Amino acid sequence: MDYLQGRNYELQINYPEAERYYKKAAAIEDENPLYLNARARILWEPGRYPDAEPLIRHAFAIGEKALGPKHPNTVQCTKNLNALLEKKKQCGFIRCAAWRTAAPTRRSDPSSLAGNPGCRGQFRRRRRRDRRETG
């Protein structure tokens, strides 16, 4: 019930009340990634990134372990964490296990550093370093 109340307040753009109810829901079920993700989303909307990041990371870890890397909820947690890191200007993207096997380097790939305008410099530096190391 608390989650639904929080969702209702979130839709009304009443973030303080939404956070209060999401916090209650997460306290009751602290291992539910849906509740943790919702609370984190409410925190990052007004720019409270340091408060939101641990919640999203925890939701991601729970989702990946309990639901598996390809589950839609795990993928959504991954996207949320990437969005948060992008807003914080940290380009170290997190990939769920399904994406970790191949590191894309094409700009057309949305999960690539090359396709992110804010991270292109970091991508180029990484690519140059990799070329030097491999020979």
Quote the number of domains for the chain. 2
Average pLDDT over the chain, rounded to whole? 76
At position 98, the amino acid (one-letter code) is A
Question: In this structure, are 89 and 129 located in the same domain?
Answer: no
Question: In this structure, are 8 and 45 located in the same domain?
Answer: yes
In this structure, what CATH number is given to the domain that contains residue 22? 1.25.40.10
Half-sphere exposure of 110 (CA within 13 A, CB side): 4
Range of the domain at 35: 2-97
Indicate whether 11 pLDDT > 80: yes
Residue 112, number of CB atoms within 10 A of its CB: 16
Question: In this structure, are 20 and 85 located in the same domain?
Answer: yes
Q: What is the pTM of this model?
A: 0.61
Residue 46, number of CB atoms within 10 A of its CB: 12
Tens digits of per-residue pLDDT, 36-89? 888 988 888 888 888 988 998 898 888 888 888 888 888 888 888 888 887 777
pLDDT at 50 (0 to 100): 87
In the block, tokens 């769920």 appear at 96
Tokens of 92: 């170290």
- Would you call 83 helix, strand, or coil by DSSP? helix
In the block, tokens 């109340």 appear at 5
Contacts 24+ apart (CB under 8 A), 73-78: 73/33, 73/34, 74/33, 76/37, 77/33, 77/37
Higher-pLDDT residue of 114, 84:
84
Question: In this structure, are 35 and 77 located in the same domain?
Answer: yes
